[in-house]
Each structure stands twice: as C-alpha cells, then as structure tokens.
Amino acid sequence: MSNTNDISPVLPDGLPTPMPLPDGLDAPYWEGTRRHELFAQRCSSCRGWQWTAEWICHRCHSFELGFERVPGPAQLFSWQRPWHPVHPALAEACPYVIVLIEFPEADGIRMVGNLVDPPEGDLPIGAAVEAVYEDHDNGEPPYTLVQWRIT
C-alpha cells in the first residue's frame, strides 16, 4: 500500500466525519491510518480476515480477534459515479467516484472509499489500486482517511 499523503481532501468540508468508535474496537485501524498503514481484523483461532471490526469472528465465532496489516494487492471490485448530491456539502463535488476495493489475499474482504483523480468514463473492474492517506491534522482528534488511486 502507498504511503502517499500529499493529496487534497477528496470531498468538501461540511460532511459528517468518519471517526473511531467510542468503544475503541476499531482503534488499531485508525492508529494504522495515522502511520499510513492499512489494518483489518484477523482471527487468532481460524486466521480468517474480516472487515469491519466486530467483537466476534464471522467464521468460527471466536472472540480472539486482532488487527494485522492487510496484504496486497488490492483491486477494484465495483464503483459508482454519483452525479446528484446526496448531501448539501456535495453540491459542488459532483460527480465523484465511490469505489469498493477487494483484497484477494485477505479472504476477499472489501472496503469502501473514494477514488482520487478518477479518469473519465468507465473504470476497469479488477484494476490494481493503492491506498492513499488523507491526513486531517487539525481534526479533534487528528485523523487520517483512506482514499484510493488506480495504479
């Protein structure tokens, strides 16, 4: 995954900000994004991957879950280009591209995000993508969002 952090915010100010859960369950994910590393849950019992963070393994129902760096490569599974704003803050941002990213080497877990510098026209399903990190150092607390770029 890329350590590129020289991107401008993909979407405009005024949208609700993703943030860590108050119970701390996903704290390792958010700590990783601040270091420009991508983490997801992995079961210590069956070694299965899962996303998003849960208290129990989806496969074997173990409570022995930890976080590990997600192995690449990542690929484009699906995408959408909204042309109509679903929130007033998006009125000037349309169109933008939302992507569903799959990690074949991590049991096919999928993550949603925005595509940085989307090309015109259709996007090739299965295209290689990399994580790019959008730092928000002035946030309270500071946070980093994961966005995506076709490689």
Interatomic CA distance for residues 145 and 9, integer angstroms: 9
3-state secondary structure 30-73: HHHHHCCCCEEEEECCCCCEECCCCCCCCCCCCCCEEEEECCCC
Distance of alpha carbon 124 from alpha carbon 59, whole angstroms: 31
Confidence of residue 20 (pLDDT cuts 50, 70, 90): confident
pTM of the predicted model as reported, rounded to 2 decimal places = 0.88
Tens-place pLDDT, residues 117-132: 998 999 999 999 999 9
